[in-house]
Amino acid sequence: MGESTKSPSSASKYYGILEIPKSASLKDICKAYKHLVKKWHPDRNKSNQAEAVDKFRSINEAYRVLSKKKREEADLFKSDTAKTPKKSSKDEEDELQISSPTLLSRTTSRISPTVDFYTSMPACFTMSGTNTPTTPGTPVSDQPPNNLSKVASKPIIFSQSTSRRKTQPIEKKLECTLEELCNGCVKKVIITRDVVATTGLIVKEEEVVTIMVKPGWKRGTKITFEGKGDERTGDIIFSIDEKTHPLYKREGDDLLLGVEVPLVQALTGCTITVPLLGGDEAMTMSFDDEIIYPGFEKVIPGQGMPKSKQESTNRGNLVLQFLIQFPLELSEEQKSEVVSILENHNS
């Protein structure tokens, strides 16, 4: 027999399950159902899940029986009063409009393989605003938008469709020394991100990611880890940032090194020791046959940064930029000697 033929004693039992009086309207039935189904959702009662599953089934059955009974009574009343003024469509909408519940939409498989809460979900949860039935098994939050109330339009728990939505990537700086960018290195970084747990709530999670820094990477090089950002589909992007070096300055694939030389050595010749960034031993260079003047530069090929997009043996240049140290003061005798030397040189 159909549910509409339930005995009065059975109906009384269902009113008791929903904790409402027998005089309750369809709107009251739906309101009570929404309250109890959230209260006894198995995911919210992990300590007594078996009882919660039984309660959940009983609440669903009670709602189906009583709501059908109320609708049949309403249909009978309408047929008996066809000639009397009808309620406005707005009044009917106010009476029958039920908001979509904020239930979890992706955790039923963890409760019991035999329980399908979506195929058994009652009409007030599975009917759209136009009374169009939804597809069985489809989460409520994935249904087309309807004429829902403002309260229910603010979900308190993330739905399945929300957790799959692509979020904005998280961007972080990864500081590296010039030595690390020249030779390559391995960086291990601890990241903390927001993820959607199996309960549907957002929790903090820590994870260690490994970044293989390749020789020749520059400031602004980006490394993307897909799915390591907030939520399950967010990305995290690390952007290389170069630490300031005490000796070298980088320009593209070239390295610039300032070398200070006293004026007397700049004029008479000198020998300097040049440190090399690539880990090789220092290089010794002699300038006995050259006059070092302000703005003088010396280019050493192949001693710059590795070119990351080419073979590892292909490198930029090391450019020595000479800075002449002039004396801060000279005696009158020294000035006369300098004038004499320079005048004789120009004559």
Q: Residues 125, 138: contact at Cβ < 8 Å?
A: no
Helix, strand and coil percent figures for the chain, each rounded to 5: 35, 25, 45
Domain final residue, candidates 242, 259, 275:
242
Higher pLDDT, 116 or 308: 308
pLDDT at 296 over 50: yes
Q: Give how far the C-alpha of residue 322 lies from the chain's centroid of Cα atoms, to the nearest Å.
A: 48
User: Residues 293, 318: one domain?
Assistant: yes
Name the residue with tokens 């739905």. 159
Total domains, the chain: 3
CA distance 97 to 148: 8
Residue 161 lies in a domain: no
The string over 287-317, giving b where at least 16 C-beta atoms fall within 10 Å of a residue's C-beta and e elsewhere, is beeeebeeebebebeebbbbbbeeeeeebbb
144 in the same domain as 211: no
Each residue's pLDDT tens digit, 17-66:
888 888 888 888 888 888 898 888 888 888 888 888 888 888 888 888 88
Distance, in Å, from the CA atom of 74 to the CA atom of 68, rounded to the nearest integer, reads: 10
Does residue 164 lie within any of the structural domains? no
pTM assigned to the model: 0.48
pLDDT at 155: 44
What gap in Å lies between CA 123 and CA 70, rounded to an integer?
13
- Strand segments, DSSP code E, in 214-253 are 222-225, 236-242, 248-251
Is residue 284 within a helix (H) or strand (E), and if so which, with residue range? strand 283-286
DSSP secondary structure letter of residue 151: T
Query: Is the pLDDT at 312 greater than 80, yes or no?
Result: no
> Do both 220 and 129 map to the same domain?
no
Are 110 and 18 members of one domain?
yes
Measured between alpha carbons, how far is 282 from 273 in angstroms, rounded to an integer? 6
Same domain membership, residue 230 and residue 124: no
Phi, psi of 328 (to 5 degrees): -80, -20
CATH of the domain at 144: 1.10.287.110
Amino acid at 134: T
Whichever domain contains 275, its CATH number is 2.60.260.20
Q: What is the pLDDT of residues 186-205, one digit of tens each?
A: 999 998 877 777 777 888 88
User: Do residues 12 and 143 both lie within one domain?
Assistant: yes
Please give the pLDDT value at position 127: 42
Tell me, yes or no, whether 160 lies in a domain.
Answer: no
14-31 residue pLDDT tens: 888 888 888 888 888 888
Query: Per residue in 125-160, pLDDT tens?
Result: 544 444 444 444 444 444 444 444 444 444 444 444
Is 252 in the same domain as 236?
no
Q: Band of the pLDDT at 108, cuts 50, 70, 90?
A: very low
**Whether residue 212 sits in one domain with residue 238:** yes
Task: Answer yes or no: is 162 within a domain.
Answer: no
Answer yes or no: is pLDDT of 176 > 70.
Answer: yes
pLDDT tens sequence across 212-236: 999 999 999 999 988 766 555 578 8
Domain boundary among 192, 213, 242: 242
Same domain, residue pair 230 and 313: no
Q: Is residue 159 part of a domain?
A: no
Quick: pLDDT tens for 69-106: 878 877 776 666 555 555 554 554 444 444 334 333 33
Task: Report yes or no on 38 lying in a domain.
Answer: yes
Q: Is 220 a member of any domain?
A: yes
18 and 145 assigned to the same domain? yes
Boundary residue ending a domain (217, 242, 267): 242
Question: Are 277 and 329 in a shared domain?
Answer: yes
- Domain range for 41 is 3-154
Residues ≥6 apart with Cβ < 8 Å to 318: 254, 255, 257, 274, 276, 277, 299, 300, 303, 304
Both tokens of residue 298?
């010396």
pLDDT at res. 84: 54
More confident residue, 1 or 279: 279
- Tens digit of each residue's pLDDT (9 = 90 or more) over 241-283: 999 999 999 999 999 999 999 999 998 899 999 988 866 678 8
Instruction: Report the C-alpha gap between 191 and 8 in whole angstroms.
Output: 61
The confidence score (pLDDT) of residue 76 equals 74
**Residue 165 forms part of a structural domain:** no
Same domain, 229 and 286: no
